[in-house]
Amino acid sequence: MDVYEKIMALARRRGILYKSYAIYGGEAGFYDYGPIGSIMKNNIENEWRNFYIIKERFYEISTPSITPYDVLKASGHVDEFIDKIATCKKCGRSFKVEELKDGKCPICGGDVEHGEMNLMFETYIGAKKKDKAFLRPETAQGIFVDFPFLYEFFRKKIPFGVVQIGKGFRNEVSPRQGVLRLREFSMAEAEIFFHPENKRHENFEEYKDRKLRLLPAGMDEMEMRLEEAVKRGIIGNEALAYYMALTHEFLTKVGIDENKIRFRQHEKDELAHYANDCWDAEIFMQRFGWVECVGIADRAAHDLMAHMKATGVNMYASGEKKVKRKKIKPKMDKIGKEFKAKAMKVKESLEKGVVKNGKVEIELDGEKIELDEQFFEVEEVEEQEKYIPHVIEPSYGIDRIFYAVLEHNYKEMKKEGENYVVLSIPPSIAAIKAGVFPLVAKDGLPEIAKEIEAELRKNRIMAFYDEKGSIGRRYARMDEIGTPFCITVDYQTKDDDTVTIRFRDTTEQIRIERNAIVKWIEERIK
């Protein structure tokens, strides 16, 4: 049994993960988070919120999973998200259509069968199934289409960021590897809008000396200070570098092993249809090697531009600078006389035209004509600079991070010949913060322990009371789900109102005053 199998067995046994629809035989690509797993996942997501909402001052929104056809047509997903697959009838191999040689199998020359795969789940809106729609492949589009409102909300100040945590859906060809490749998965995405020429981050200073393990496209792995990486153009801009550092900090905070994180830049031909540049945070997992868990992409103006083109809605932001511009003012009295009914068309083309040698060339009904200065005058105007903001997008696969947290904190040891499992996750991520036990279930000890458990819960601390079995067994159960502390009420408690607190990772115990418990725990689970 490798670690993966051990972890999935533990997850199953302790209510962390279940295979979905198991009683119907299961469905590939879907997993349930059980009672303990759900809390842990929420804790990870809340830690993420702590970074992006509290620290970065962004806001979270929540938009629908079902997305109308037009939106994803505009974003490019309808066309780009299709994989055209050809399968050879002779040797059975599958290829991308571009790989075929003269329409035949590139390996054996056999005839091929064409198939198409769009990775989006299709659905319909309304009873008549008239309007085609998709389950969103990413949460990002919901943010982009709200840009005009959000820009207003942030009082037209750029940069600003908006985040969303939610489900994304991709109809994977063959999902395997448990929770690492799901058809329905949780993602946490931040869309940060920048001026195209100013992708700096005001807090870059904080991370500029941090060294990250980098794997730039076409280069060897290196470890480099972020400031230097930006200066040397290895990382395209400060904002990308900043969010790489933030990602690194977040991952280690939730319990990922720092030595198992690296940042790999996408090769040009590997980039998504919407991305200019992209760095993945990859996490090392024993069975699967380096796995992409976070993508930090520079999406440039791709999405806002696409939605503006499709809807005509203005996606411009106005800059602080004023720009001087030469503006062509058509002379309508002349144009009207000359072009009659076509005058409006001429005016429109002329306004968009460029002056060359005192003339402007325009196209009228497919015909090129030149207009000289009797039809227009040139005026110098001062306008507010306007631009379509660029987007930097850190996008986190929560389920993959969740699994990595389990794996990196799974500790197995021998205890009197038996395998003993401890999940050494950070206390902030643990589902249950404290187990509360009477040393033995008699002589009034259970009553005291129950009071302590209730008091912890009153203070919003997830505590768990247990009096069954031997004390060792109760500790062991808590260790397996990563409960960092166990509080035990013993006979001395009746004398002096103290309890023992036992540490998960060392099994050491200390004794503290009963009335100090809540504060003591609170301080250690942040």
Site for RNA in 199-258 (CB under 7 A): none
CA-based max dimension of the chain: 108
Contact between 264 and RNA per CB under 7 A: no
Contact between 514 and RNA per CB under 7 A: no
- The first and second tokens of residue 21, run together, are 């629809």
Comparison of 279 and 375: residue with beta carbon closer to RNA: 279
What span, in angstroms and rounded, lies between the C-alpha atoms of 487 and 450?
11
Q: In sequence order, what are the residues at sequence separation of 6 or more whose Cβ sits closer than 8 angstroms to the Cβ of residue 353? A: 328, 360, 361, 362
Contact between 78 and RNA per CB under 7 A: no
What span, in angstroms and rounded, lies between the C-alpha atoms of 155 and 303?
21
Residue 69: CB minimum distance to RNA, A? 16
SS3 of 415-431: ECCEEEEEECCCCCCCC
What span, in angstroms and rounded, lies between the C-alpha atoms of 89 and 473?
59
525: nearest Cα among 477, 441, 462: 462
Return the H-helix or E-strand segment holding 334: helix 332-339
Which of 15, 19, 211, 359 binds RNA (CB under 7 A)? It is 19
Contact between 447 and RNA per CB under 7 A: no
Q: In sequence order, what are the residues at sequence separation of 6 or more whose Cβ sits closer than 8 angstroms to the Cβ of residue 265? A: 214, 215, 216, 217, 277, 278, 279, 280
What span, in angstroms and rounded, lies between the C-alpha atoms of 320 and 470?
70
Which of 155, 414, 442, 526 binds RNA (CB under 7 A)? It is 442
Identify which range of 303-311, 329-337, 427-435, 484-492 contacts RNA by CB under 7 A. 484-492
Site for RNA in 269-328 (CB under 7 A): 270-275, 278, 287, 292, 295
Comparison of 36 and 335: residue with beta carbon closer to RNA: 36
Identify which range of 60-68, 238-246, 380-388, 436-444 contacts RNA by CB under 7 A. 436-444
Which of 126, 152, 155, 174 binds RNA (CB under 7 A)? It is 174
Site for RNA in 491-510 (CB under 7 A): 491, 500, 502, 507-509
Angle between helices 35-49 and 238-253 (to 10 degrees): 140
Which of 326, 361, 472, 515 binds RNA (CB under 7 A)? It is 472
Contact between 69 and RNA per CB under 7 A: no
SS3 of 430-443: CCCCEEEEECCCCC
- Verify cis geometry, omega within 30 degrees of 0, for the bond prior to 159: yes
Q: Which sign does the torsion angle of CA 455, 458, 459, 465 carry?
A: positive
Comparison of 80 and 221: residue with beta carbon closer to RNA: 80
Site size with RNA, rule: CB under 7 A: 73
The alpha carbon of 35 is separated from its chain's Cα centroid by a whole number of angstroms, namely 23
Contact between 108 and RNA per CB under 7 A: no
Contact between 417 and RNA per CB under 7 A: no
469, amino acid identity: G
Comparison of 33 and 207: residue with beta carbon closer to RNA: 33
Comparison of 253 and 477: residue with beta carbon closer to RNA: 477
45, amino acid identity: E
Residue 233: CB minimum distance to RNA, A? 22
Using an 8 Å Cβ cutoff, are 474 and 486 in contact? yes
Identify which range of 61-69, 166-174, 213-221, 325-333 contacts RNA by CB under 7 A. 166-174
403, amino acid identity: Y
Which of 12, 49, 104, 253 binds RNA (CB under 7 A)? It is 12
Which of 63, 87, 311, 349 binds RNA (CB under 7 A)? It is 87
Using an 8 Å Cβ cutoff, are 487 and 510 in contact? no
Which of 145, 421, 436, 518 binds RNA (CB under 7 A)? It is 421
Residue 515: CB minimum distance to RNA, A? 17
Residue 328: CB minimum distance to RNA, A? 40
For residues 411-448, one letter each, b for 16 or more C-beta atoms within 10 angstroms of the residue's C-beta and e for the rest, the string is eeeeeeeeeebbbebbbbbbbbbbbbbbbeeeeebbeb
Residue 141: CB minimum distance to RNA, A? 10
Residue 324: CB minimum distance to RNA, A? 39
Comparison of 263 and 375: residue with beta carbon closer to RNA: 263
Identify which range of 20-28, 47-55, 145-153, 324-332 contacts RNA by CB under 7 A. 20-28
Query: What is the radius of gyration, based on Cα positions, of the chain?
Result: 30
Strands 211-215, 222-225: pairing is antiparallel
Comparison of 107 and 378: residue with beta carbon closer to RNA: 107
Contact between 32 and RNA per CB under 7 A: no
Residue 36: CB minimum distance to RNA, A? 14
Comparison of 167 and 359: residue with beta carbon closer to RNA: 167
Comparison of 155 and 442: residue with beta carbon closer to RNA: 442
Comparison of 330 and 427: residue with beta carbon closer to RNA: 427
Comparison of 133 and 317: residue with beta carbon closer to RNA: 133
Beta strand residue intervals within 272-358, DSSP E: 277-285, 289-300, 317-330, 355-356
